[in-house]
Structure 1
């Protein structure tokens, strides 16, 4: 059968662009993007790549491996049914980290200063300037533009699949002249999840239906809707990447390093309510959701601030005026509307230990920085049922020929709830499955 392309990729985030770049080794690839003006969830991320057993870790004297990485993820997610997929993406991670650095010229360093709950060793790889996901998107987009066999079509959303009852044979897209059908040997759904689709959230993740949405506005769950129509299975649909450090009233986020720098969190009565360093930021969102008013306060001091301010998230919060500096307890309590006596006792009893900076184990001392924080949803982590090679499966485990999925379109690796998310899992699943699918379709191995 004559086709318009060997592979059609729907979505140009990290998953879609990685899949396209690898698949183009085997023939023509067309990438349809809904809107680069609105962006993708990769751009909203920190751009940090979780990978175990990399060259950069070895150079820093960190002993790690894909197997250890997978064990950490599975321990946090409590989802043994995802073991094959988790092991596959963890095995892919050091390979695409080297590919990004050596072949695409992407700047990466090991984030020694980026510990996260559930990670037994430092394994987040980040650009040295802490520029966030925009830097990764720029690298991948530039790489795609240099490949003759990749056609990138922007502002052209896919609106459905071509399905003959047996296999997927292409997609339908909406152009300025109307709807068009595009045929392909294989289709890769790499569009974002359903974080901005209230109907799907109420159906699958009601806890997040009213939460602040901090992801890309075009996350409408297209892949889930199309997949269900042709009998695809779904998995872990109640899972999402939550965030417990969204600044209330601003929508910016604080640096996830702050708890590891000795920051304190208190509730609306000025009382500490959790072990700050024991919570991943997604799990923390659930704890805050259960507090009165769904809000808490984060307080940190000058030594913590000096380190934390060097990140894209903190730069955005500083620019937005999302937190304030307080000279003493009276101004801190008054500015936050907290009872001064209770807050003072909480501060007196809190030990500001840090994993990242050399500081005495002591109380937080003024001046203090503080912000009211709430919870939000960044991306969903459930989606189309896939195997460890990225094939989309029916509920009985049989593949739908011609259809693969990655990124927000596919089930993630964080288990059935937001509590199982480990830092970096979103991009790990996106890049990892994109890499695996692209290699399979491009016969690159």
Structure 2
């Protein structure tokens, strides 16, 4: 009698970007059966609430724009910011995968991609963020992937069916436990892929590993409870970078929306509640900026920009959401700006007089009224630590050996931004998620048909 309620070749826990890409690439082998177990499409995944920007070096979109880039250059940029030399093999692996899956999304899945030439980010030596043409954000990316899954004959997508644990025998993973229609099911699998979100919504794990993020605004999904990481650890898996998280320094308090991270690179000004500038706006990634604002006495700042920057900044779903929420306003003069934001007028006037708006296009001189402004604070969007994996996505035991039949990506795997929140570069989250999904799925499509079921 079988110890399982049913069996599949590949069991994927998590139906976000990583899990969907894994399933689609594995299912290219028509003889394989793939099941994706999703906790809740209603609550969503972190990929859905992201900007949907895909960082990739060496794409046809860049070549068409005359931009010289490559996966190797992309990897060097990431490692220069993160300082995590131990992760170099994995960083190079996902950067090699990135131009391939970007072009696959556009050419085979019909995702409307373009190169975001107006999306400058700290640490990126050339423009390499690819975005959907209408700037609809991560929700559109996930819809593209889920439509493709729906048309695949050998993929079953099971919503409201969370994973609850791993099945193993003699140190070898044999399947996964899921909660399906109110009952626990034992699902046998030749390969189990953990592709759930991280643990930012788990207050106990966050307090243990990222205590400085406790109490900050949380902008992620409620399903990020870190369960899959705990299952791997229970089998002896190693973990990396558990104290790292994706922070954000441009969250608008009282609204929970985010401003477009391009604003500092267009020449926006950041001041404290004293009306004084306190940081080099263009030198910070938005995760590092969150740490800087968190260190302010009141944990708050004000971002100020003018009409020259506004139209470009509005080309973002994040910015449009902020506008709809009333998260920023346009002010006709200094008195109105200082009064609305409770800033000391004399100090603010001096700051504005001394400040020159410098963007990637050059020096644009002082900001000109009318000016837009919004209060900003710091927050956490997602954790970056997780299970240690190799360059094929295999989960590694703390001793360094592979745990047979177990893979991880997305928020379940250690990210590529190093041990500190300051090591995050824009696009790293989806790069790791889609990159590992691509790598794992391709690996399984090739290896499973030639391996015996055990």
TM-score by length of 2: 0.96
Aligned with 1:41: secondary structure? coil
Partner of 1:313: 318
Is residue 74 of structure 2 the alignment partner of residue 69 of structure 1? yes
The partner residue of 1:233 within 235, 238, 247 is 238
Partner of 2:308: 303
The CA deviation at 1:230 is: 1.1
Gaps of 5+ in 2: 449-454
The CA deviation at 1:361 is: 2.2
Is residue 328 of structure 2 the alignment partner of residue 353 of structure 1? no
- The question of whether the paired residues in 2 share the 8 Å contact of 1:25 and 1:444 is answered with no
2-structure distance, mates of 1:240, 1:424: 14
Aligned with 2:378: secondary structure? strand
Aligned with 1:292: secondary structure? coil
The partner residue of 1:182 within 187, 195, 201 is 187
Is residue 94 of structure 2 the alignment partner of residue 89 of structure 1? yes
- The question of whether the paired residues in 2 share the 8 Å contact of 1:254 and 1:314 is answered with yes
Partner of 1:242: 247
Partner of 1:418: 421
The partner residue of 1:56 within 61, 67, 73 is 61
1-structure distance, mates of 2:105, 2:160: 27
- The question of whether the paired residues in 1 share the 8 Å contact of 2:171 and 2:235 is answered with no
Partner of 2:178: 173
- The question of whether the paired residues in 1 share the 8 Å contact of 2:302 and 2:373 is answered with yes
The partner residue of 1:265 within 270, 276, 288 is 270
CA offsets, 1:146-205, max 9 Å, x none? 100000000111111111232111111112231111110000000000011111011001
CA offsets, 1:230-262, max 9 Å, x none? 111110001111110000111100001100111
1-structure distance, mates of 2:342, 2:231: 48
1-structure distance, mates of 2:16, 2:187: 20
CA offsets, 1:39-76, max 9 Å, x none? 11000111010000111100000000000000000000
- The question of whether the paired residues in 2 share the 8 Å contact of 1:268 and 1:292 is answered with no
CA offsets, 1:346-383, max 9 Å, x none? 01000012225x8x621111111111100111111110
2-structure distance, mates of 1:403, 1:444: 14
2-structure distance, mates of 1:443, 1:312: 38
CA offsets, 1:276-327, max 9 Å, x none? 0110000000000000111111011111112111210000000000111111
2-structure distance, mates of 1:177, 1:349: 64
Aligned with 1:259: secondary structure? helix
The partner residue of 1:364 within 355, 362, 367 is 367
2-structure distance, mates of 1:412, 1:15: 13
Partner of 2:451: none
The partner residue of 2:28 within 12, 25, 45 is 25
1-structure distance, mates of 2:151, 2:235: 35
Aligned with 2:358: secondary structure? coil
Gaps of 5+ in 1: none
Residue correspondence of structure 1 range 13-412 to structure 2 within 5 A: 13-26=16-29, 27-355=32-360, 361-412=364-415
The CA deviation at 1:444 is: 8.2
Aligned with 1:378: secondary structure? strand
- The question of whether the paired residues in 1 share the 8 Å contact of 2:201 and 2:224 is answered with yes
Aligned with 1:4: secondary structure? strand
2-structure distance, mates of 1:374, 1:412: 24
1-structure distance, mates of 2:161, 2:412: 18
1-structure distance, mates of 2:399, 2:123: 33
1-structure distance, mates of 2:262, 2:64: 23
2-structure distance, mates of 1:179, 1:83: 40
Aligned with 2:186: secondary structure? strand
1-structure distance, mates of 2:84, 2:171: 31
- The question of whether the paired residues in 2 share the 8 Å contact of 1:20 and 1:29 is answered with yes
1-structure distance, mates of 2:287, 2:131: 20
TM-score by length of 1: 0.98
2-structure distance, mates of 1:307, 1:402: 47
- Judging changes above 3 Å, is the alpha-carbon distance between structure 1 residues 183 and 141 closer, same or farther for their aligned structure 2 residues? same
